[in-house]
């Protein structure tokens, strides 16, 4: 992660133009995260962090649901898939692209009725979840340390 490498010029207020100059690189987050950040303003100065917090609360609950469902309903792949679909939707809403991709793999494993593959996918999803949490915690810490200039730092390095 190197948010500082993608500093936006502080005097350039056109966020959309800046995104075009620095397309979101493949990584933990995609363009949707920029859309969320763009919704932050003086009336909701912590909006992005609040949404991220909601995401981690929601996704942790959903992953627990998935594990419990896999235990309680062995081989009920459609039931597992329904929960993974919810998690994938949540990932999509904040632009958590790597985690979303692992959810897609998980759903494919459910569709194939492959238990071992589902188990591996679950572990990968959990791994991406933990990694994303760490990345975002670092990101927000960086923004706080940067103060007002932090608004100019985008997520490009993630």
- Is residue 54 involved in binding other proteins (CB under 8 A)? yes
48 touches 15 (CB < 8 A): no
Q: How far is the CB of 40 from other proteins (least distance, A)?
A: 8
Stretch that binds other proteins, among 4-12, 49-57, 65-73, 115-123 (CB under 8 A): 49-57
Q: Where are the alpha helices (DSSP H) in the chain?
A: 15-21, 31-38, 47-72, 77-94, 97-112, 115-146
Report the site for other proteins in 91-130 (rule: CB under 8 A): 92-95
Count of beta carbons in the 10 Å neighbourhood of residue 99: 27
Q: Is 58 in the site for other proteins (CB under 8 A)?
A: yes
* Residue among 85 and 120 whose Cβ is closer to other proteins: 85
* 14 in contact with other proteins (CB under 8 A): no
User: Which backbone phi and psi does 44 adopt, to 5 degrees?
Assistant: -135, 70
Return the residue of 85, 104, 105, 108 that touches other proteins, per CB under 8 A: 85
For 96: left if phi > 0, alpha if psi spans -120 to 50, otherwise beta; the answer is beta
Judged by CB under 8 A, the residue of 24, 36, 136, 158 near other proteins is 36
Nearest to 123 by CA among 109, 113, 139: 109
Instruction: Point out which residues bind other proteins (CB under 8 A).
Output: 32, 35-36, 38-39, 41, 43-44, 47, 50-51, 54-55, 57-58, 85-86, 88-90, 92-95
């Amino acid at each position: 992660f190197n948010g500082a490498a993608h500093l936006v010029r502080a005097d350039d207020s056109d966020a959309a133009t800046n995104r075009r100059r620095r397309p979101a690189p493949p990584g933990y987050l995609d363009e949707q995260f920029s859309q969320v950040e763009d919704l932050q303003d003086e009336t909701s100065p912590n909006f992005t962090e609040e949404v991220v917090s909601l995401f981690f609360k929601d996704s942790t609950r959903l992953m627990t649901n998935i594990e419990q469902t896999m235990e309680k309903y062995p081989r009920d792949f459609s039931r597992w898939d329904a929960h993974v679909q919810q998690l994938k939707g949540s990932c999509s809403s904040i632009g958590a692209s790597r985690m979303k991709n692992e959810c897609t793999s998980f759903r494919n494993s459910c569709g194939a009725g492959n238990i071992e593959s589902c188990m591996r996918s679950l572990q990968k999803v959990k791994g991406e979840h933990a990694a994303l949490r760490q990345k975002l915690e670092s990101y927000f810490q960086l923004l706080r340390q940067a103060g007002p200039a932090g608004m100019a730092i985008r997520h490009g390095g993630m």
